Structure 1
Amino acid sequence: MSAIPVSDVDLYTEQARVDPYEIYSGLRALGPVVYLSRYDLFALPRYDEVRAALMDWEVFSSARGVFVDPVVNRQLEGITLCSDPPEHTAMRSVLGRPLRADRMREVTPRIEAEADRVVRRLVGRGGFEVVAELSEYLPMTVVSDLVGLPGQGRAKMLEWAEAIWNTQGPADERAEAAGPAVGEFLAFADKDAVPGNIAPDGWAAQLYAAADRGEIPREKCPVMLLDYITPSLDTTILAITSTVALFARNPDQWDLLRGDRSLIPHAINESLRLESPVPQFSRVLTEDHEVGGVPLAAGSRVALLFGSANRDERHYPDPARFDITRRPSDHLAFGRGEHVCVGMHLARLEMSALLERLADQVARFEIRDSRPMINNGLRGLGRLDVTVEPVAG
């Protein structure tokens, strides 16, 4: 342990959830591996080591959970996020079918039509609250319909998703307060979101159809709903909101995008790099392993700090600058390897549809007010009020 830098920094204070970047910079300066004494974790704060870990699931295992609290990790063993091949491969194959890039072409007209509808309405008002009125719109109108949950489930999806993410840190007050909502979701998934109550052609129904064909165990279906609800909601909502905020603060970059729409994919990547909605997950080493020249023992829990790696000055020059010409397609906000985000094509589609239409209609954004989200598993804005200057003519 003497060769490994030790830090007692707390990544879960309110201030650290709002602005962790000075902490990340300090951890990167300490070395490729830092022992976080508060949580008995070895943190990887630099890009190269995080990417290498993501690409090596056999050594950096997800099967013993990917969070912080040992109790939560034990409870969630075996869900898609907390599993390894071959079990993970079977579940991911089923989950990913409606989310493949080719399947996104089927839903693109609907998403574009809804994006056009909401942007025209909001820009016509001259200002709006981004989170509730813009960022939540596509996930809640289109995605919730595609999942095919019963009505009472759709009304609670945002509350449940935020609570589930709050369990991904230590056993603190936020995690404790999330307990009832998490329990409510699990009961709903087990008793209510079942064949007969769910839309027969929805994504949830496809899970049960796959179980009937013997592709996955039927008892996995309720918890696999987590994989459609949590990634398809908060992460996309936060990403959309952060992108608007970044363009409001960097009007020169908005001018670039409005003048060249081919920059939209790069703008999305740059926003995700700079303001990663999911700052970290953890892994457990299956064998003794050297990371960045540092030996770690089998059984060590290792935190992969995506939010820090995506701002590593060793990999990205001037990493705190928002530059949509940077083209950082190698960012780690969606993960990499076996556990790369299954919904990333959908998230990109939603973000692209909104940016295209905002670029058509908005000359400038101005922030009136903002409020951070405080959550143990997520980072971003919980509120963003803007005024907009419409495009002339």
Structure 2
Amino acid sequence: MMLPASTVDIFSDAVLEDPWPTYRALRDLGSAVWLEPTNVCFIGRYADVRRALNDWQVFSSAQGIGFNPVINAAWDEALICQDPPVHTARRKLMMEALGPAALKPVADTIEQRASALVDRIATMGTFDAVSDFALDLPVGVVMDLIGWPHDVRPALLDLASGSWNAAGPANARMEQGLSGLQEMMGLLSNLYDKERVLPGGFAAKLIASSRRGEISRETAIGMLAGYVVAAFETTISAMAAGIQLFADNPAEWDRLRTDPRLAMHAANEIVRMETPLQSFARVTTQDAELSDGSVIPAGTRVVVCYASANRDERQFEAPDSFRIDRREKQNLGFGHGPHGCAGQNLARMELTAVFGALAKRITRFECQGNGVRALNNISRSLARLPTLAVAA
């Protein structure tokens, strides 16, 4: 069957501000929709997105997960641009630092930092949900876990912010993102060559593995770059989004305050609703038949849209409603299959700790005017969100 086509540009300012109506319209057109402005095929229904994430043999990452050839060449050694078996071996290295066993000693640090953060927010009253709140745990915990030297941390954070833009199609945001990415790669190369990282962290272990010849210098730097980009912006995005969602849904905040054990469920629902990483590309290695019978030809670059899948009414009841006691299984905000987010355990720990702590101290949130979006080709995040926290 012929694939339906659309003239919508999913990377335009208007769509990035509020993508949900566009995603729904594309889902309603079919399992696969050809996007004429970018010459890629959009996959947005839950069943098809999940299948694509699991079936790496047909939906391959090895030709890059971006939408332009420059970024796909630059990220050639990044973990997210590898298929098994290469991906399997490299991911094992990363999971040694980010798996449940490795993160167990970090749990107390996260709880203590979350408690101190909430004390500050309760004292401040009016705060910015991004700069005063969302930056704290991802920066404080992850920077130490990876082992970045203190003097480069501000620069890494600045360079990580907006880096996902480089993975978009040719537009002004992509050009800006590439510029920042080149600077970041230069900084990481310098840290690698001079071994200027803190002992005991993930970066030091990765560099040691490279020195032993287990992975190349380029692979080590590529893996570090992937973690810099993924670790900060996505968790920061979810933290700030959680404040906005609870401000807009006070009954759900009351529910969490009544039962703080729902904090883990709340973390998952925040990620489902906002999906900090909206989509990645894949390339089909053979003709791929989707759930409605449509066939994507071999060699097609596709948009695998996690964000659309997470609002698919075929999978989730009232998908646009924020419900922290939602029981539907497996939202795709952390990906799925071989490329499921390596840092998802850490992200869940941080989100659960901080919203659980807030539930004990804050009676409600009120957004002070409209938040400002940081428009990005790939990620969804806020730049500013002035908020009032009313302490108990």
1:167 aligned counterpart, secondary structure: helix
1:126 aligns with 2:125: yes
Matches within 5 A, 1:237-256: 237-256=236-255
Q: Which residue of 2 aligns with 1:385?
A: 386
Does the 8 Å CA contact 2:68/2:168 hold for their aligned counterparts?
yes
Q: CA 1:78–1:193 in structure 2 vs 1: closer, same or farther (change >3 Å)?
A: closer
Over the aligned positions, Cα root-mean-square deviation in angstroms equals: 1.4
> Deviation string for 1:165-221 (max 9, x for gaps)?
111111211111223321111111112344541112111111012223443223311
Does the 8 Å CA contact 2:79/2:223 hold for their aligned counterparts?
yes
Identity among equivalent positions (%) equals: 38
Q: CA deviation at 1:385?
A: 1.1
Q: CA 1:163–1:125 in structure 2 vs 1: closer, same or farther (change >3 Å)?
A: closer
Q: CA deviation at 1:74?
A: 2.9
Q: Which residue of 2 aligns with 1:23?
A: 22
1:360 aligns with 2:360: yes
1:309 aligns with 2:309: yes
Q: Which residue of 2 aligns with 1:258?
A: 257
- Counterpart AA for 1:74: A
> Deviation string for 1:64-123 (max 9, x for gaps)?
001111332233223211010111111111112111012211101111111111110121
Q: CA deviation at 1:51?
A: 0.4
Measured in 1, the distance between the counterparts of 2:64 and 2:364 equals 44
Structure 1 unaligned regions, length at least 5: none
Q: Which residue of 2 aligns with 1:50?
A: 49
- Counterpart AA for 2:326: R
2:368 aligned counterpart, secondary structure: strand
Matches within 5 A, 1:1-393: 3-194=2-193, 196-292=195-291, 293-369=293-369, 370-391=371-392
Q: CA deviation at 1:310?
A: 0.5
Q: CA 1:20–1:182 in structure 2 vs 1: closer, same or farther (change >3 Å)?
A: same
Q: CA 1:194–1:142 in structure 2 vs 1: closer, same or farther (change >3 Å)?
A: farther
Q: TM-score, normalised by structure 2?
A: 0.96
Q: CA deviation at 1:46?
A: 0.6
Q: CA deviation at 1:140?
A: 1.5
Measured in 1, the distance between the counterparts of 2:78 and 2:125 equals 44
- Counterpart AA for 1:309: A
Measured in 1, the distance between the counterparts of 2:121 and 2:37 equals 45
Does the 8 Å CA contact 1:150/1:193 hold for their aligned counterparts?
no
Measured in 2, the distance between the counterparts of 1:70 and 1:180 equals 15
Measured in 2, the distance between the counterparts of 1:194 and 1:17 equals 38
Measured in 2, the distance between the counterparts of 1:86 and 1:200 equals 29
- Tell me which moved more, 23-32 or 75-84: 75-84
Does the 8 Å CA contact 1:266/1:328 hold for their aligned counterparts?
no
Measured in 2, the distance between the counterparts of 1:209 and 1:3 equals 52
Q: TM-score, normalised by structure 1?
A: 0.96
Q: CA deviation at 1:7?
A: 0.4
Measured in 2, the distance between the counterparts of 1:388 and 1:103 equals 34
Does the 8 Å CA contact 1:269/1:329 hold for their aligned counterparts?
no
- Counterpart AA for 1:380: S
Structure 2 unaligned regions, length at least 5: none
Measured in 2, the distance between the counterparts of 1:220 and 1:305 equals 27
Measured in 2, the distance between the counterparts of 1:345 and 1:329 equals 17
Measured in 2, the distance between the counterparts of 1:268 and 1:130 equals 16
Measured in 2, the distance between the counterparts of 1:161 and 1:88 equals 23
- Counterpart AA for 2:321: R
- Tell me which moved more, 207-216 or 239-248: 207-216
Does the 8 Å CA contact 1:8/1:38 hold for their aligned counterparts?
yes
2:298 aligned counterpart, secondary structure: coil
Does the 8 Å CA contact 2:122/2:362 hold for their aligned counterparts?
yes
Does the 8 Å CA contact 1:33/1:45 hold for their aligned counterparts?
yes
Measured in 2, the distance between the counterparts of 1:60 and 1:196 equals 37
Q: CA deviation at 1:338?
A: 0.4
- Counterpart AA for 2:239: I
- Tell me which moved more, 374-383 or 55-64: 374-383
2:303 aligned counterpart, secondary structure: strand
> Deviation string for 1:314-350 (max 9, x for gaps)?
1111110111111344100111000000000000011
Measured in 1, the distance between the counterparts of 2:20 and 2:209 equals 43
Q: CA 1:196–1:167 in structure 2 vs 1: closer, same or farther (change >3 Å)?
A: closer
Q: CA deviation at 1:48?
A: 0.4
> Deviation string for 1:278-310 (max 9, x for gaps)?
110111111122122112221111111111110
